[in-house]
């Protein structure tokens, strides 16, 4: 009999890997009956994983770290991360009104590199301050989300204080689009298809992509309950293998149209096929009515070690938690991260397969001339930061 | 010491029927200060205005992600809130999760004071679930009857059978194929639709 694994996911393009593992038979090949459960909130997924209603989950990379540090407001079980679920897919979208204001305030910044477009936002904020207008509202998807850290990174690099100069709230991904449309927020950072959807509807403009902020930045991960993982080591390996195979399939440019079809189904992401195809084909549209731009790395599922749970990437997220005072400054991340991110589980699972694994579990992030550049692809922060945290 | 009935309880639910059932249960138990809100874009402001001591919310409600942020942002809310979990009682955690209830409480409230409120919410969620199941079953039964009526009508018209004979034919086939009568009725409807 096949081993049953229940996996919770949120309807986003990056749920592709588990969805493909089931739809294309990769889970079955590993003798796994993969049951996928669609959830509308990150808190619900985390709690159901903790309380044993799921064995596995599509998670924001920050959630398992926050849970380990006791930041979840409840005594959650420890969660381990044996693999990452791809890269890319986020963007910062602003309302068309705010986009116009940014364009008028600083046309040069809006023509320059997208990672620096917040300089125009800074001017809008300064104008509002001078006029005594209320501050702008932005949304991200969760307090411990890469989206929150990316939005803050982008703002802070332009001299905006994300805690004082704007209001940053949290809205679950499936509700983002309506919030922008109805004018409840002026902008947001969320994963696809919720940016592309706003552009297709003429309600929003993408002003920066995840890649523009940090091209190698981590995104979703596979989370497993630690006690379940400890008790089922072979099943963990089989699950990781099935998901790595699914990632390899999803990464092929030739499979992306089929992938868009699969994800467009109501049980999966349930967004329009055209919206998903634009993003998955690496041809996103940034502004309503304009032709798409060419971005082959918009969604990366497998290449560039996109499934490897790099300790240095977990560490970067932990450092952002410190930066924005979510955790005490003396938190020992060097000790905590290797308990959560588990490249050893990944290495065990793919041993003997033709899967490229890096030599070390961590690397210097953001160095354009790093020796492993061919393995990991483009790696640059918008402000050319070099992030080095040894393990 | 705060008396029980002086707790401000806020029920957040997209389903107004369930919210009403929870509210009534609480009011009948002596908790008179109960407010309820549905989906709201200015959730943080509304919570601030209502100043609840306890928030009862569907575990799967997307608004929970917004609530979670209140753990983080102290300037968003005057009093810190945290998810309520009675760590000493694993069965209660299980009951709450199965019923789909989560609760958030302001800091400093004693567990034994909150427990009965959460227990009431759990039992009311379960009652609602039961009612919904019964309604769905009744609806399904009604639909089955409609299918059988339609199939009978088709057989009477197309095969010239009497109503009784049409029903007997459906039943005979159901028994032979070890299927439900409404399933056979569905097959009959599908088959005749195909011909047109």
What was the pLDDT predicted at A305? 95
CA distance A89 to A388: 25
What was the pLDDT predicted at B85? 76
For residue B73, pLDDT over 70 is answered with no
Q: Which domains does chain A have, with CATH numbers?
A: 3-88+217-268+301-376 (3.40.190.10), 90-213 (3.40.190.10)
Same domain, residue pair B141 and B104: no
The answer to whether the Cβ–Cβ distance between A41 and B93 falls below 8 Å is no
What was the pLDDT predicted at B80? 64
The nearest alpha carbon in chain B to A41 belongs to B62
Average pLDDT over chain B reads 85
For residue A34, pLDDT over 90 is answered with yes
Which of B134, B150, B165 is the last residue before a domain boundary? B134
Which of B134, B153, B169 is the last residue before a domain boundary? B134
For residue A325, pLDDT over 80 is answered with yes
CA distance A61 to A218: 7
For residue A94, pLDDT over 90 is answered with yes
Which residues from chain A sit within 8 angstroms of residue B12, using beta carbons? none
The answer to whether the Cβ–Cβ distance between A74 and B44 falls below 8 Å is no
The answer to whether the Cβ–Cβ distance between B83 and A75 falls below 8 Å is no
Reported as half-sphere exposure (CB side, CA atoms, 13 A), residue B78 has a value of: 9
Sequence-separated (6 or more) residues with CB below 8 Å from residue A270: A11, A264
CA distance B81 to B107: 5
Which of A20-29, A71-80, B43-52, B180-189 is the most confident on average? A20-29
What was the pLDDT predicted at B83? 78
Which residues from chain B sit within 8 angstroms of residue A171, using beta carbons? 62, 65-66
Query: Residue A4 class from Cβ within 10 Å (0-12 exposed, 13-18 middle, 19+ buried)?
Result: exposed
Listed range (A225-229, B90-94, B114-118, B163-167) with the worst mean pLDDT: B90-94
CA distance A55 to A241: 16
The answer to whether the Cβ–Cβ distance between A172 and B87 falls below 8 Å is no
Same domain, residue pair B64 and B93: yes
Which of B134, B163, B182 is the last residue before a domain boundary? B134
pLDDT-derived band of residue A55, with 50, 70 and 90 as boundaries? very high
Listed range (A163-172, A263-272, B88-97) with the worst mean pLDDT: B88-97
Same domain, residue pair B32 and B91: yes
How close, in Å, is residue B136 to chain A by CA atoms?
Answer: 21
Same domain, residue pair B21 and B90: yes
The answer to whether the Cβ–Cβ distance between A169 and B44 falls below 8 Å is yes
For residue A52, pLDDT over 90 is answered with no
Place of tokens 């989300």: A145
What is the distance, to the nearest Å, from the Cα of residue A348 to the centroid of all Cα atoms in its chain? 25
What was the pLDDT predicted at B68? 83
pTM of the entire predicted model: 0.88
Domain that holds residue B73: 4-134
Q: Is B60 on the interface with A (CB under 8 A)?
A: yes
For residue B196, pLDDT over 60 is answered with no
Sequence-separated (6 or more) residues with CB below 8 Å from residue A32: A2, A3, A4, A5, A235, A238, A239, A242
The answer to whether the Cβ–Cβ distance between B65 and A142 falls below 8 Å is yes
Q: Give the mean model confidence (pLDDT) for residues B134-159.
A: 91
Q: Provide the CATH number for the domain around residue B141.
A: 1.10.10.10
For residue B44, pLDDT over 70 is answered with yes
pLDDT 10s digits, A143-161: 999 999 999 999 999 999 9
The answer to whether the Cβ–Cβ distance between B66 and A75 falls below 8 Å is no
The answer to whether the Cβ–Cβ distance between A73 and B82 falls below 8 Å is yes
Q: Give the mean model confidence (pLDDT) for residues A95-101.
A: 97
Same domain, residue pair B98 and B113: yes
What was the pLDDT predicted at A276? 95
Considering its fold, how many domains does chain B have in total?
2
For residue A237, pLDDT over 80 is answered with yes
Same domain, residue pair B77 and B146: no
pLDDT-derived band of residue A214, with 50, 70 and 90 as boundaries? very high
Average pLDDT over chain A reads 94
Which residues from chain A sit within 8 angstroms of residue B87, using beta carbons? 75
Out of B41, B61, B65, closest to residue A170 by CB: B65
Listed range (A59-68, A75-84, A296-305) with the worst mean pLDDT: A75-84
The ipTM (two decimal places) reads 0.83
pLDDT-derived band of residue B41, with 50, 70 and 90 as boundaries? confident
CA distance B165 to B179: 19
Q: Could you tell me the sign of the dihedral formed by the alpha carbons of A59, A62, A67, A73, in that order?
A: negative
Which residues from chain B sit within 8 angstroms of residue A320, using beta carbons? none
Same domain, residue pair B80 and B130: yes
Which residues from chain B sit within 8 angstroms of residue A174, using beta carbons? 62
What was the pLDDT predicted at A77? 76
For residue A162, pLDDT over 60 is answered with yes
The answer to whether the Cβ–Cβ distance between A71 and B82 falls below 8 Å is no
pLDDT-derived band of residue B71, with 50, 70 and 90 as boundaries? low
Interface of A with B (CB under 8 A): 39-44, 47-48, 51, 53, 71-75, 141-143, 169-172, 174-175, 179, 182, 184, 326
Listed range (A384-388, B42-46, B130-134) with the worst mean pLDDT: B42-46
pLDDT-derived band of residue A45, with 50, 70 and 90 as boundaries? very high
Same domain, residue pair B118 and B140: no
Q: How far is CA A70 from CA A79, B63, B69, in A?
A: 12, 21, 15
What was the pLDDT predicted at B194? 65
The nearest alpha carbon in chain B to A172 belongs to B62
What was the pLDDT predicted at B79? 64
Out of A74, A175, A326, closest to residue B85 by CB: A74
For residue B75, pLDDT over 70 is answered with no
Q: Give the mean model confidence (pLDDT) for residues A354-380.
A: 89
The neighbouring-strand residues paired with A6 are A35
Share of chain A above pLDDT 90, in %: 88
CA distance B180 to B171: 8
Q: Provide the CATH number for the domain around residue B127.
A: 3.40.190
Same domain, residue pair B128 and B158: no
Which residues from chain A sit within 8 angstroms of residue B44, using beta carbons? 169
Q: Give the mean model confidence (pLDDT) for residues A331-360.
A: 96
Give A263-266's long-range contacts (Cβ < 8 A, gap of 24+): A263/A13, A263/A15, A263/A16, A263/A19
For residue A347, pLDDT over 80 is answered with yes
The neighbouring-strand residues paired with A56 are A7, A224
For residue A205, pLDDT over 60 is answered with yes
Same domain, residue pair B145 and B110: no
The answer to whether the Cβ–Cβ distance between A143 and B87 falls below 8 Å is no
Which residues from chain A sit within 8 angstroms of residue B45, using beta carbons? none
pLDDT-derived band of residue B77, with 50, 70 and 90 as boundaries? low
The nearest alpha carbon in chain B to A321 belongs to B72
Same domain, residue pair B35 and B73: yes
Same domain, residue pair B80 and B170: no
pLDDT-derived band of residue B3, with 50, 70 and 90 as boundaries? low
For residue A356, pLDDT over 60 is answered with yes
């Amino acid at each position: 009999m096949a081993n049953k694994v229940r996996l919770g996911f949120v309807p986003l393009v990056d749920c592709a890997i588990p969805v493909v593992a089931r739809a294309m038979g990769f889970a079955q090949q590993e003798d796994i009956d993969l049951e996928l459960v669609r959830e509308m909130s990150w808190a619900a997924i985390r709690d159901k994983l903790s309380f044993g209603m799921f064995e596995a989950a599509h998670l924001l990379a920050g959630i398992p770290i926050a849970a380990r540090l006791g930041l979840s407001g409840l005594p959650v079980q420890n969660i381990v991360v044996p693999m990452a679920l791809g890269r890319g897919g986020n963007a910062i979208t602003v309302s068309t009104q705010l986009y116009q204001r940014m364009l008028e305030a600083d046309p040069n910044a809006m023509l320059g590199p997208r990672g620096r477009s917040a300089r125009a936002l800074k001017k809008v904020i300064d104008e509002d301050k001078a006029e005594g207008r209320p501050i702008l509202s932005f949304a991200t998807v969760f307090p411990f989300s890469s989206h929150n850290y990316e939005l803050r990174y982008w703002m802070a690099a332009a001299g905006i204080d994300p805690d004082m100069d704007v209001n940053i709230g949290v809205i679950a991904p499936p509700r983002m689009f309506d919030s922008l449309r109805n004018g409840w927020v002026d902008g947001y950072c969320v994963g696809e298809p919720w940016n592309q959807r706003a552009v297709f509807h003429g309600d929003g403009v993408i002003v920066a992509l995840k890649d523009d902020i940090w091209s190698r930045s981590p995104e979703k991960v596979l989370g497993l309950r630690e006690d379940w993982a400890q008790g089922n080591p072979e099943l963990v390996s089989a699950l990781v293998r099935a998901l790595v195979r699914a990632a390899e399939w999803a990464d092929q440019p030739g499979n992306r149209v089929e992938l868009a079809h699969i994800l467009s189904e109501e049980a999966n992401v349930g967004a329009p096929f055209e919206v998903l195809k634009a993003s998955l084909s690496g041809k996103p549209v940034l502004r309503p009515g304009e032709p798409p731009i060419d971005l082959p790395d918009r969604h990366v599922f497998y290449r560039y070690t996109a499934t490897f749970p790099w300790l240095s990437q977990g560490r970067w997220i932990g450092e952002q938690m410190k930066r924005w005072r979510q955790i005490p400054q003396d938190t020992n991340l060097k000790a905590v991260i290797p308990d959560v991110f588990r490249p050893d589980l990944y290495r065990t699972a793919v041993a003997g397969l033709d899967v490229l694994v890096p030599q070390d579990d961590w690397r210097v992030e953001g160095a354009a001339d790093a020796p492993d550049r061919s393995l990991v692809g483009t790696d640059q922060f918008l402000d050319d930061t070099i992030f080095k945290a040894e393990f | 010491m705060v008396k029980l009935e002086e707790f401000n309880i806020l029920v957040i639910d997209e389903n107004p029927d369930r919210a009403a059932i929870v509210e009534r249960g609480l009011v009948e138990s002596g908790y008179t200060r109960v407010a309820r809100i549905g989906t709201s874009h200015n959730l943080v402001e509304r919570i601030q205005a209502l100043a609840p001591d306890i928030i009862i919310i569907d575990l799967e409600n997307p608004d929970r992600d917004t609530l979670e942020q209140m753990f983080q942002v102290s300037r968003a809310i005057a009093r810190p809130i945290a998810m309520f979990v009675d760590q000493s009682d694993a069965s209660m955690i299980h009951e709450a999760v199965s019923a789909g209830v989560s609760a958030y409480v302001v800091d400093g409230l004693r567990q034994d004071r909150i427990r009965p409120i959460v227990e009431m919410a759990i039992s009311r969620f379960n009652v609602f679930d039961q009612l919904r199941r019964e309604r769905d079953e009744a609806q399904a039964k009604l639909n089955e009857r409609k299918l059988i009526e339609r199939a009978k009508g088709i057989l009477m018209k197309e095969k010239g059978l009497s109503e009784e004979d049409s029903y007997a034919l459906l039943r005979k086939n159901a028994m032979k194929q070890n299927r439900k009568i409404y399933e056979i009725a569905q097959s009959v409807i599908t088959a005749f639709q195909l011909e047109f």
